[in-house]
């Protein structure tokens, strides 16, 4: 080991200068060595400076070519996927519980429970999305899930409808931050060859919906009251038991993130904030977890940031000084290098999580004090980027209104449809919800396969499944038998999940890391603004539940057409 250190310590300054030259040239090239001028142009359009773009190109190359996809990325995928599953718990649990909540609390408009949740989601998406670009991904990654678990359990103990609304709103603040952060964490650790996993992540969304549906089916059908005339809390605990279980599972997932396999801060966030040493430390930790090594050095990162000209000049000067030095000076320099390498070895042997803990309250206050509108301005830094940001947000808004008009109130629709057709029991209606949730799972596989096809890509795949969702919803309104109702709902679930999987993945890909949290948070916030209108539409739609379905279907079809006008096709490109 000492011999290895001596060899490392006697590397000449000329070697370092050569490394700097390689770093700067590699930063502007693809993995096959060709100049990636399109990425550089895209970086300029997105308001990313050349220094950051060169450093991230090195980082992406190291992750893709040296570290690859291994144990570490599997853990991040599982933990991010668990977050996605949990995000969908609450929508499914609320939708299934609305009929029983209505019997117990007898509100004038039961849809206002969803309004409370969506109001909290609006706040959460906006605040946590921006905060993740200021204080880092790691804090948001852990805190949002902890809040969701605690407040999810609390919702199950709501004393009345007003209390339920308040707790749902608070829950929304935590849940609203999860979706933007989970995907951001995953994409910034994945090699570019595995970005399709972002699309496949939606399978966890379906599994979350399926798990919540099974819990609701098991508890609500066995612990419920039949009529509002005799529906005290003691006779109607099923929906509350569902929330207790889901909140408990959320806290278990938080414990997995916080204690079992803590994830370090995103290296792209660290580089964007001038913390190159910590970014390299995280990269070496990932390599170690995957049983690999990386040749990327701090000198290469610095050289990429400063430009090759200065690095080469400095390297030549240091090399000249080294050639002119006396033997004693060379020995002293060698010993000093060994001492420095001893210190580096100690740092490298420690976990980057320990280094991340040095982000103390003072650093947090400094980050917050530096908050301005720069992250938002960067999203509109060029006409093309402004169009991209505006259209992404508008698409999220359209779907944010269309989705809850159908999904949040599907239990009420099935109840009314069952009564109109001569009736399926409530147990059968909840069974159908479980089947519908399971039907969404194949959508993730279809979407993940299609997004890498040359003639489909992200935009084509997303537009196709969004169009199919609208068409299936229109056909759903023509169903008159329980079998037809179930069939069209299953078709809608599959296409809808495929659509969402690509929309989420592409939203993560088209924003650069320094502003990714803000961009995704802004998109999700727009979704929640429009989503707040959905319960109002549902509440005043009258006795015919198909009216909101018509509106939902129309918005899905309009969104499908607009998706074709997105300026960036991200298939085959590494995210900045």
Please spell the DSSP secondary structure of 466-513, one letter per residue: HHHHHHHHHHHTT--SHHHHHHHHHHHHHHHHHHHHHHHHHHHHTS-H
Q: Over the range 96-124, which residues count as b (16 or more CB within 10 Å of their CB) and which as e?
A: bbbbbbbbbbebeebbbbbbbbbbbbbbb
- Under a CB-based contact definition with an 8 Å cutoff, are residues 92 and 216 in contact? yes
Report the distance separating Cα 280 and Cα 271, nearest Å: 9
pLDDT of residue 412: 62
| Cα three-residue angle 504-510-512, rounded to 5 degrees | 115
- Reference 249, options 153, 347, 139; nearest CA is 153
- Reference 84, options 170, 216, 182; nearest CA is 182
pLDDT of residue 334: 44
- Reference 82, options 251, 299, 216; nearest CA is 251
pLDDT of residue 150: 97
Helix axes 71-105, 410-420, angle to 10 degrees: 50
Question: Which pLDDT tens digit goes with each residue over 532-543?
Answer: 787 777 666 555
Helix axes 426-439, 482-509, angle to 10 degrees: 40
pLDDT of residue 371: 54
Helix axes 71-105, 238-255, angle to 10 degrees: 160
Report the distance separating Cα 220 and Cα 229, nearest Å: 18
**SS3 per-residue string spanning 347-405:** HHHCCHHHHHCCCCHHHHHHHHHCCCCHHHHHCCCCHHHHHHHHHHHHHHHHHHHHHHH
pLDDT of residue 299: 93
* Residue 328, token pair as written in the block: 């004693």
Domain spanning 71-265+377-563, CATH class: mainly alpha
pLDDT of residue 425: 73
Residue spans of the chain under pLDDT 50: 1-35, 308-350, 356-357, 359-360
How many other CB atoms are found less than 10 A from the CB of residue 449? 14
pTM, full prediction: 0.80
Query: What is residue 262's DSSP assignment?
Result: -
**SS3 per-residue string spanning 150-201:** HHHHHHCCCCCHHHHHHHHHHHHHHHHHHHHHHHHHHHCCCCHHHCHHHHHC
Q: Find residue 35's DSSP bridge partners.
A: 29
Report the distance separating Cα 357 and Cα 535, nearest Å: 42
- Under a CB-based contact definition with an 8 Å cutoff, are residues 447 and 465 in contact? yes
Question: Which pLDDT tens digit goes with each residue over 25-41?
Answer: 344 444 333 335 655 66
pLDDT of residue 537: 72
What are phi and psi for residue 35, nearest 5 degrees? -65, 125
């Amino acid at each position: 080991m000492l011999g290895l250190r001596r060899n490392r310590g006697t590397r000449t300054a000329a070697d370092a200068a050569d490394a700097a030259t390689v770093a700067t040239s590699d930063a502007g090239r693809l993995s096959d060595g060709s100049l990636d001028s399109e990425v550089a142009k895209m970086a300029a359009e997105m308001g990313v400076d050349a220094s950051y773009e060169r450093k991230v190109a090195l980082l992406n190359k190291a992750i893709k070519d040296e570290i690859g996809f291994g144990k570490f990325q599997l853990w991040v995928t599982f933990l991010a996927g668990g977050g996605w599953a949990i995000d969908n718990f609450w929508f499914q649990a609320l939708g299934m519980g609305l009929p029983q909540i209505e019997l117990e609390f007898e509100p004038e408009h039961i849809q206002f429970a969803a309004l409370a949740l969506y109001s909290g989601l609006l706040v959460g998406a906006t605040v946590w999305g921006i905060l993740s670009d200021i204080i880092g991904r790691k804090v948001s990654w852990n805190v949002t899930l902890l809040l969701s678990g605690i407040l999810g359990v609390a919702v199950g103990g709501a004393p009345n409808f007003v209390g339920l609304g308040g707790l749902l709103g608070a829950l929304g603040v935590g849940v609203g931050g999860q979706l933007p952060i989970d995907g951001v964490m995953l994409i910034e650790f994945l090699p570019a060859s595995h970005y399709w996993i972002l699309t496949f992540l939606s399978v966890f969304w379906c599994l979350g919906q399926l798990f919540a549906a099974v819990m609701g089916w098991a508890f609500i059908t066995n612990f419920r009251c039949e009529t509002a005339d005799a529906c005290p809390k003691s006779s109607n605990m099923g929906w509350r038991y569902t929330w207790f279980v889901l909140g408990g599972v959320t806290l278990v997932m938080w414990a997995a993130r916080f204690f079992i396999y803590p994830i370090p801060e995103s290296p792209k966030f660290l580089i964007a904030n001038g913390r190159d040493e910590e970014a390299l430390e995280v990269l070496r930790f990932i390599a170690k977890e995957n049983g690999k090594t990386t040749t990327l050095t701090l000198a290469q990162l610095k050289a990429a940031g400063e430009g090759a000209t200065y690095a080469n000049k400095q390297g030549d000067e240091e090399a000249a000084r080294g050639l002119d030095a006396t033997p004693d000076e060379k020995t002293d320099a060698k010993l000093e290098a060994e001492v420095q390498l001893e210190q580096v070895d100690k740092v490298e042997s420690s976990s980057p999580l320990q280094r991340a803990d040095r982000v103390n309250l003072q650093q947090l206050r400094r980050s917050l004090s530096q908050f301005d509108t720069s992250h938002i301005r960067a999203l509109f830094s060029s006409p093309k980027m402004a169009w991209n940001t505006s259209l992404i947000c508008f698409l999220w808004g359209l779907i944010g209104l269309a989705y809850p008009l159908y999904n949040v109130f599907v239990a009420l629709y099935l109840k009314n449809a069952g009564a109109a057709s001569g009736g399926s029991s409530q147990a059968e209606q909840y069974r159908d919800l479980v089947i519908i949730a399971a039907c969404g799972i194949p959508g993730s596989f279809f979407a993940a396969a299609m997004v890498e096809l040359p003639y489909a890509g992200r935009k084509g795949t997303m537009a196709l499944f969004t169009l199919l969702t609208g068409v299936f919803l229109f056909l759903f309104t023509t169903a008159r038998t329980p079998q037809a109702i179930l069939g069209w709902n299953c078709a809608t679930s599959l296409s809808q999940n495929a659509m969402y999987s690509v929309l989420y993945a592409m939203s993560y890909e088209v924003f650069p890391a320094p502003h990714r949290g803000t961009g995704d948070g802004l998109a999700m916030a727009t979704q929640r603004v429009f989503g707040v209108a959905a319960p109002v539409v549902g509440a005043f739609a009258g006795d015919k539940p198909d009216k909101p379905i018509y509106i939902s279907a129309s918005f899905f079809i309009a969104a499908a057409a607009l998706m074709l006008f997105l300026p960036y096709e991200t298939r085959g490109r590494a995210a900045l």
